[in-house]
Amino acid sequence: MKINDLYSTITAVVIKQLEDGVPPWVKPWKDDRLHGVGMIPTNLVTGRLYSGGNILLLWMAAHIHGYSNLQFCTYQQVNSIGAQVRKGERAQHVIFTKHVMRDGEEEGQQRGQTIVKSYAVFNLSQLDKVPESYLVPQQPEPEEPEKLTPKVILARGSGVPVQHGGNTACYIPSRDEVQMPRPSAFVDDDAYWQTLMHELTHATAHEKRCGRKLGRRFGDEQYAFEELVAELGSAFLCARLGMPAGYRSASYLDNWLKVLKSDTRAIFTAASYAGQGADFLWNQAFPKVEEKQLEAAE
């Protein structure tokens, strides 16, 4: 599939779901049959996690087609393990991005170039004759200190100061800290952690972390775009923690739609930034684990 066609097709689906009031990133789920695989799409053969926009693409594919798991692989990988794609099954498409240096027009000059293409993958549910060794959890669990949950480790290990009090949840760039109401103020424990992951994602915009530009006021395009990044970042982090994603920015819906309708690549750019932010926070808290599992599967 041509990359621009993929951008347009997926953006149209996202716009339709937003217009229906159901963002596609609020439905990550665990595989009921394969305990431990996790809520981030994983390559069936390598065990690596997909990242950035590919997480959103494969979440949407699993929801639309009713897949009961989040393991995918290429046709070449299917053949390499002796499995078969079931007759009549159609592939999903994901994105491969590579940054390379090319020779410039002048001798000795180098210029950067980004290569973007799509490639086809199949879900485990579409395959037959998959060896038993691939039907087991492949995603390593975080190594956590005694009596500390992964959520607490992530919050404490993120490097972002978090202050509790008041009735507002926000990231304050001038102080480089997150302000949160006390946990007892939220409707449930999940709501607290979903909101905290949202605000921690905002904090990754700081120049000493991922260096994103923040909008200045509610309603401007950059502000709405950053809220979209934070929503996706929260969804990615919640998925890694085994939690459902939340939806706390309904007030931004119209602004998101305006952004997406004006740029078919916007959702992929937002997902890429969100993935970078989520990876940064996860790496800070779980550096040993992340060395094994971060790269996007091919």
128-132 long-range contacts (CB < 8 A, ≥24 apart) are 128/83, 128/84, 128/85, 128/86, 129/82, 129/83, 129/84, 130/44, 130/81, 130/83, 131/81, 131/82, 131/83
Q: Mean pLDDT over residues 125-153, rounded?
A: 74
How far apart CA 28 and CA 6 sit, in angstroms, is 21
What residues are paired with 49 via a beta bridge? Answer: 42
Q: What distance in Å separates the CA atoms of residue 136 and residue 25, rounded to the nearest whole number? A: 25
- pLDDT number for residue 289: 46
pLDDT in tens, 40-54: 899 999 989 999 889
> DSSP assignment, residue 33?
S
* Phi/psi at 177 (5° precision): -145, 155
CA angle, 278 then 189 then 61, to 5°: 50
Is-contact 200 163, C-beta < 8 A? no
Residue 223, amino acid: Y
Phi, psi at 284, each rounded to 5°: -65, -40
Q: What is the mean pLDDT of residues 30-39?
A: 50
Residue 76 CB coordination number (10 Å)? 11
* pLDDT, tens digit (0-9, with 9 covering 90-100), for 168-225: 899 999 999 999 999 999 999 999 999 999 999 999 999 999 999 886 655 678 888 9
What's the average model confidence in pLDDT over 108-122?
A: 80
Q: What is the structure's pLDDT at 287?
A: 83
Higher pLDDT, 271 or 115: 271
Q: Is the pLDDT of residue 31 over 90?
A: no
The string of pLDDT tens digits covering residues 216-265 is 655 678 888 999 999 999 999 999 998 888 876 667 788 889 899 999 99
DSSP run (H or E) holding 155: helix 150-157
The pLDDT, as a whole number, for residue 67 is 84
Are 189 and 245 in contact by the 8 Å Cβ rule? The answer is no
Within a 10 A sphere around the Cβ of 216, how many other Cβ atoms? Answer: 8
Q: What is the pLDDT of residue 250?
A: 67
Task: Say if strands 92-103 and 162-164 run parallel, antiparallel, or are unpaired.
Answer: unpaired
* Interatomic CA distance for residues 101 and 110, integer angstroms: 6
Model pTM score: 0.81
Q: What pLDDT shows up at residue 110?
A: 66
Task: Label residue 288 exposed, middle or buried (CB < 10 Å: 0-12, 13-18, 19+).
Answer: exposed
